[in-house]
């Protein structure tokens, strides 16, 4: 088998809601996430130097610590479903970001804050390899709009455990019904990975790896082979063929509202920071975090407008700390609209931006909760 170089654009991403935090869930075709950039996924082990004194300036021993939580990131362009009451592409990401998803049949889908953040499994194909991560959460999201391009949401967060499935070949025949297969190098696979054999993808469902022996190069599967394979056949990571029919939102169809009145804008940015604390210091039989705890949520941003004569009132609003409802609205067709609403936002005193031949105002904002878990919401209609 050729030792081929990965091609950057051979990338596919799936995000799947987990029932139990950290318990990996295999993706279905509908779990495809259309990303607007390259997905980053990584988890580095941690080591502590030995305090032992030796007659050398070199460090001659260290200790491997419990594996810290990993990190992931990628941007998306917001894609409503096109139908009222049907979830947008990447629904699980919005739900993990805020906490609650409410589907109003034939009308809307609303994502709003909650005390607890649900987790999801992330699957990322990088050309010849498929990476996966369990116990993922969205810790930060930045929504940006302007005069060009699509309505972009930059997402990042953490996860509990990372794994992978590469591409190798069978080192021996694998009979129909067998659960153990021998490959050339079992280090290319980890427990939890989904794989397929050349000509056998388990009827389109893939096979989940339950054990890996890197000494004997035996990979154990959760179910017996439906077809089997011969020595030399490819063994590779499996993902379903994703389905996606929605259309991305265009920035040109965006507008802002302050206190219910529409406001022409040059640009607007909303950032939600809501990282969880993965419990990396809890000792258990697992070598990675198995739980997380939510912390304080922060919602802020800014909007930029041309400085019109009536806009001077925003200086007074900023000085007095006036709280107003602020919203970003994008889309003009039923089923393909989103409204990002902050019912209680405080605009700061504007910053004057001169750019000949015009003058603009940059207005920072901070969103507060009213009764709690209501500082911001995403409504798709």
**pLDDT of 327 over the 80 cut:** yes
Cα–Cα distance between 76 and 154 in angstroms, integer?
6
Return the biggest CA–CA distance within the chain: 79
The residues, any chain, with a CB within 8 Å of residue 379's CB and separated by 6 or more, are: 108, 109, 110, 111, 338, 339, 341
Count of beta carbons in the 10 Å neighbourhood of residue 63: 10
Phi, psi (rounded to 5 degrees) for 91 = -55, -40
E strand or H helix at 352, and its extent? strand 351-355
HEC string of 218-274 equals EEEECCCCCCCECCCCEEEECCCCCCCCCCCCEHHHEEEEECCEEECCCEEEEEEEC
pLDDT for 291-316, tens place per residue? Answer: 999 999 999 999 999 999 999 999 99
Q: Residues 79-99: what's their mean pLDDT?
A: 97
How far lies 120's CA from each of 79, 87, 162, in Å? 19, 16, 13
- State the average pLDDT for the chain: 96
Cβ atoms 152, 338 nearer than 8 A: no
Cα–Cα distance between 17 and 268 in angstroms, integer?
30
HSE-up (13 A, CA, CB side) for residue 332: 6
Q: Residues 238-249: what's their mean pLDDT?
A: 90
- Eight-state DSSP code of residue 375: S
Any idea which residue has 């080591």 for tokens?
47
pLDDT for 189-206, tens place per residue? Answer: 999 999 999 999 999 999
pLDDT for 112-125, tens place per residue? Answer: 999 999 999 999 99
Cβ atoms 34, 244 nearer than 8 A: yes
Count of beta carbons in the 10 Å neighbourhood of residue 73: 16
**pLDDT of 237 over the 80 cut:** yes
Cα–Cα distance between 27 and 185 in angstroms, integer?
25
Alpha helix (H) ranges present in the chain?
91-98, 313-320
Angle made by CA atoms 296, 25, 112, in degrees to the nearest 5 = 35
Q: Residues 128-137: what's their mean pLDDT?
A: 98
Any idea which residue has 């004569």 for tokens?
309
Distance of CA 20 to the CA centre of its chain: 18
Phi, psi (rounded to 5 degrees) for 128 = -85, -5
Is the pTM higher than 0.85? The answer reads yes
């Amino acid at each position: 088998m050729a030792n081929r170089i990965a091609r950057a654009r051979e990338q596919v991403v799936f995000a799947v809601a987990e029932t139990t935090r950290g318990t990996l869930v295999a993706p279905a075709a509908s779990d495809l996430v259309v990303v607007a950039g390259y997905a980053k996924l990584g988890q580095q082990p941690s080591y502590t130097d030995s305090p032992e004194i030796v007659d050398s300036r070199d460090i001659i021993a260290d200790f491997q610590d419990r594996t810290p939580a990993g990190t992931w990131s990628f941007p998306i362009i917001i894609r409503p479903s096109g139908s009222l009451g049907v979830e947008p592409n990447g629904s699980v990401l919005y739900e993990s970001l805020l906490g609650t998803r409410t589907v109003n049949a034939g009308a809307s889908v609303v994502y709003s804050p909650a005390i607890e953040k649900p987790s999801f499994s992330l699957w990322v194909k990088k050309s010849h390899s498929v990476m996966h991560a369990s116990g993922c959460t969205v810790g930060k999201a930045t929504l940006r709009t302007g005069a060009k391009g699509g309505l972009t949401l930059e997402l990042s967060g953490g996860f509990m455990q990372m794994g992978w499935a590469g591409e190798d070949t069978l080192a021996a025949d694998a009979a129909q019904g067998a659960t153990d297969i021998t490959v050339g190098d079992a280090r290319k696979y980890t427990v939890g990975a989904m794989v397929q054999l050349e000509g056998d993808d388990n009827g389109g469902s893939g096979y989940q790896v339950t054990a890996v022996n890197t000494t004997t190069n035996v990979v154990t599967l959760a179910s017996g082979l439906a077809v089997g394979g011969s020595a030399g056949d490819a063994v590779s990571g499996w993902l379903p063929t994703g389905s996606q029919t929605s259309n991305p939102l265009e920035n040109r169809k965006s507008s802002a509202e302050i206190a219910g009145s529409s406001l022409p804008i040059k640009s607007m940015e909303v950032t939600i920071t809501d990282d969880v604390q993965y419990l990396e210091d809890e000792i258990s039989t697992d070598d990675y975090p198995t739980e997380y705890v939510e912390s304080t949520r922060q919602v802020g941003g800014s909007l930029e407008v041309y400085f019109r004569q009536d806009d001077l009132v925003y200086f007074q609003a900023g000085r007095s700390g006036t709280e107003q409802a602020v919203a970003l609205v994008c889309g003009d067709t039923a089923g393909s609209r989103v409204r990002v609403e902050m019912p209680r936002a405080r605009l700061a005193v504007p910053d004057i931006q001169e750019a000949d031949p015009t003058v603009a105002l940059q207005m920072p904002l901070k969103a507060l909760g009213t009764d709690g878990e209501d500082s911001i919401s995403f409504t798709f209609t």
